[in-house]
């Protein structure tokens, strides 16, 4: 972190809120993470809120399908944003907020076929609440969204794809328009994108639109640096030899409890020696599943594969010795060394959130062959 009087210390645009928006799969989380690290490195207090983080200051605690209509959902959204803006005004933090200003408001409302004009009223009111924070908007766009979504689905796996297609097809909006399958999923997001992009011109927000089709992230980051008057540094580089120390197979235990129905376990045992109210107490069975994941060296960077719910592939970005960011997630992987100074284990940690379990130790099982 730079000292305030360091000659490299620049002030970004006079903003306390940076909104990162666009359709899913275009790199919003990776960009928000990178930007928050750059702001911290320049000496600013910065808080990045991941799209899926819980608890979240502005995310709906229950979906629009459980709300009593559009009015309740829209009113709740405005209340959350009003309260967030009030707290943010009293803080010195720069907040990097992804998805929840446009994407996560427009898409849920569109799925229940709320009229675009009604959605627009909520967005404009939210912008009024945020105005004292001098917000700026970074908007990611790819003209061929079908190709972008196809790439995202291929990266995240068939299970991810089937789940999102099923959820999209079940929406009121899709059923009324016969939107089905992958093409229906894409068309629904293109329709949501039209509403989001309409507001880029309507809202009085400084904004930067970035076409990420060619995945030229270095060029995109230069544009962001110029836009925010913020010098951008590259992450610390580690040699291939240094990165190879982390390569290997790691393991962790996952506790799996049986499903419960009407308060009773679907599977279980009864222990007559343990009674409640004179009746045998059911002792549910728990299964301990041993999971393995690998970390390999690919094209000069560490790649973690098959690590649980985070997806089949996760890239590791070096922060400092033995600590790496998980790209696009608000977690870090911290490595442990033994007496021989070799890496013997890892654990997932977080600087800002208790969302999801962290801190479990992942022993390194074996040395893996280094790959190029």
Query: Higher model confidence: residue 13 or residue 151?
Result: 151
* Per-residue pLDDT at 69: 66
DSSP at 133: G
* Cα 37 from Cα 304, distance rounded (Å): 21
Q: Does pLDDT of 301 surpass 50? A: yes
Antiparallel, parallel or unpaired: β 313-320 and 301-305:
antiparallel
Are the C-beta atoms of residues 175 and 113 closer than 8 Å to each other? no
Lowest-confidence range among 25-39, 97-111, 245-259, 291-305? 245-259
In which band, very low, low, confident or very high, does the pLDDT at 201 lie, cut at 50, 70 and 90?
confident
In which band, very low, low, confident or very high, does the pLDDT at 256 lie, cut at 50, 70 and 90?
low
Domain boundaries, the chain: 17-228, 240-259+287-367
88 Cβ contact list (under 8 Å, min separation 6): 16, 17, 95, 133
* Cα 18 from Cα 132, distance rounded (Å): 13
Kindly provide the b/e burial profile for residues 77-105, where b requires at least 16 CB atoms within 10 angstroms of the residue's own CB: bbebbbebbeebeeeeebbbbbbbbbbbb
Fold of 17-228: Rossmann fold (3.40.50)
* Per-residue pLDDT at 234: 76
* Domain 240-259+287-367, architecture per CATH: Beta Barrel (2.40)
**For residue 369, with 0-12 CB atoms within 10 Å meaning exposed, 13-18 middle and 19 or more buried, which class applies?**
exposed
* Cα 189 from Cα 103, distance rounded (Å): 9
* pLDDT, mean of residues 293-315: 91
In which band, very low, low, confident or very high, does the pLDDT at 285 lie, cut at 50, 70 and 90?
low
* pLDDT, mean of residues 270-277: 42
* pLDDT, mean of residues 41-48: 92
* Per-residue pLDDT at 260: 43
* Cα 368 from Cα 349, distance rounded (Å): 24
* Per-residue pLDDT at 279: 42
Each residue of 74-125: pLDDT tens digit? 888 999 999 999 999 999 999 999 999 999 999 999 999 999 999 999 999 9
* Per-residue pLDDT at 275: 42
* Per-residue pLDDT at 73: 82
**pTM to 2 decimals?**
0.84
Q: Which residues pair with 254 in a beta bridge?
A: 289
């Amino acid at each position: 972190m730079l000292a305030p009087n360091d000659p490299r210390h620049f002030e970004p645009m006079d903003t306390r809120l940076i909104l990162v928006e666009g359709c899913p799969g275009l790199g919003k989380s990776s960009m928000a993470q990178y930007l928050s690290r750059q702001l911290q490195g320049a000496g600013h207090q910065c808080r990045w809120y991941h799209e899926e983080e819980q608890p979240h200051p502005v995310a709906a605690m229950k979906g629009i399908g459980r709300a009593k209509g559009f009015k309740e959902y829209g009113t709740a959204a405005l209340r959350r944003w009003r309260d967030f803006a009030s707290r943010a005004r009293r803080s010195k933090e720069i907040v990097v907020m992804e998805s929840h200003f446009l994407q996560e408001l427009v898409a849920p409302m569109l799925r229940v076929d709320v009229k675009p004009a009604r959605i627009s009223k909520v967005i404009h009111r939210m912008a009024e609440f945020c105005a004292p924070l001098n917000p700026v908007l970074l908007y990611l766009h790819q003209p061929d969204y079908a190709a972008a979504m196809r790439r995202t689905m291929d990266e995240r796996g068939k299970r991810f794809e089937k789940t999102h297609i099923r959820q999209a097809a079940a929406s009121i909006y899709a059923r009324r328009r016969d939107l089905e399958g992958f093409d229906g999923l894409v068309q629904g997001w293109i329709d949501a994108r039209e509403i989001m992009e309409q507001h880029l011109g309507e809202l009085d927000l400084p904004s930067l639109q970035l076409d990420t089709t060619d995945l030229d992230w270095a060029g995109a980051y230069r544009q962001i640096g110029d836009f925010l008057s913020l010098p951008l540094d590259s992450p610390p580089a580690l040699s291939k030899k240094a990165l190879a120390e982390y390569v290997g197979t790691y393991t962790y235990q996952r506790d799996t409890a049986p499903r419960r129905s009407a308060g009773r376990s679907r599977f279980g045992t009864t222990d007559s020696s343990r009674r409640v109210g004179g009746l045998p107490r059911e002792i549910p069975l728990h299964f301990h599943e041993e999971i393995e994941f690998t970390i390999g060296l690919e094209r000069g960077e560490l790649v973690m594969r098959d690590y649980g719910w985070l997806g089949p592939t996760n890239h590791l970005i070096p922060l400092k010795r033995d600590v790496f960011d998980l790209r696009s997630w608000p977690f870090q992987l911290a490595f442990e060394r033994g007496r021989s100074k070799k890496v013997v284990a890892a654990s997932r940690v977080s600087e800002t959130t208790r969302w999801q379990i962290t801190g479990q130790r992942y022993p390194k099982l074996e040395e893996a062959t280094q790959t190029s």
